[in-house]
Amino acid sequence: MVTAAEGGHIAIDNVSHVFADHGSEVVALGSVNLDIRPGEFISLIGPSGCGKSTLLRLVTGLDHPTSGEIRLDGEAIRDSHYSRGLVFQDPTLFPWKTIWSNVATGLEARGVLKERREEVDRFIELVGLKGFERSYPHQLSGGMAQRAALARALVNHPKVLLLDEPLGALDAFTRMNLQDEILRIWQERGTTMIFVTHDIDEAVYLSDRVVIMTPRPAQIKEVVRIDLPRPRARNGGSFFEYRSRILESLQLVPESPQPEYSL
């Protein structure tokens, strides 16, 4: 059995981020504040280029805020660390390695693979890839490759798992199946999840809260708590009410045409 993880508490305090682009400064994030409870499932949604992925990179420690601070369990995040896993839209598996070796990459880099080899097998089974340990990435479907990427991140027992549109390149049926797999793993592991998506239905289906971001420089416009029981019905009336609310907040609902009157 894979033991449950303890989700981490993320505090994002007044975070701004500016980067250089061809000699000019671009303000990607402007005074973002967000408190994410241990074990919570959060989705970030907003216009393309608004800074969602930038915020993920700051939480992982791959970049540093221009101002403000991000803390994990009370300690400021300064650098990347295995306690914060990151899964991209592209699975980014090493093509020359088997699935087993890909999943084991983090443990090998940390020098702990020898004593934790059994965990590689357990996490491969957890994501539904048992029997494909000796396969190579090119032999897998897109959905299976993304499962391998999830296992590679989870085997390090992260307190926080950050997912940057991990299902965006998949077909609709595979996407829905993997949504359910991510929820199952989240419920079994208790890992704090921060999920970037452009799909409003996906955000409502997965999340405890949906964080709606403004166009760049991104700020948090609204946080919508999804008070629906799990498993959630994708075609329920309450589901569509949340969907409509988020569409309206994103200003993606066309204004009703004015009635025409004949004289």
pLDDT tens digits, 65-123: 999 999 999 999 999 999 999 999 888 999 999 999 999 999 999 999 999 999 999 99
Decide if 257 is inside a domain: no
Measured CA to CA in angstroms, residue 2 lies from 54, 87, 214 at distances of 31, 20, 39
Do 63 and 167 lie in one domain? The reply is: yes
Q: Provide the pLDDT for residue 8.
A: 96
pLDDT digits 0-9 by tens, 243-259: 999 999 998 766 555 55
Residue 23, judged by CB atoms within 10 A of its CB (0-12, 13-18, 19+), counts as exposed
pLDDT digits 0-9 by tens, 111-159: 999 999 999 999 999 999 999 999 999 999 999 999 999 999 999 999 9
Q: Which residues pair with 86 in a beta bridge?
A: 162
Do 110 and 169 lie in one domain? The reply is: no
Do 221 and 105 lie in one domain? The reply is: no
Decide if 258 is inside a domain: no
Is residue 80 within 8 Å of residue 61, measured between CB atoms?
A: yes
Do 195 and 106 lie in one domain? The reply is: no
Of 11-15, 214-218, 237-241, least confident by mean pLDDT is 214-218
Is residue 74 within 8 Å of residue 142, measured between CB atoms?
A: no
Do 66 and 163 lie in one domain? The reply is: yes
More confident residue, 263 or 164: 164
Decide if 261 is inside a domain: no
pTM more than 0.95 = no
Range of the domain at 11: 1-83+159-175+186-251
Do 77 and 192 lie in one domain? The reply is: yes
Closest CA to 175 of 193, 192, 154, 195: 195
Looking at the 3D structure of the chain, how many domains does it have? 2
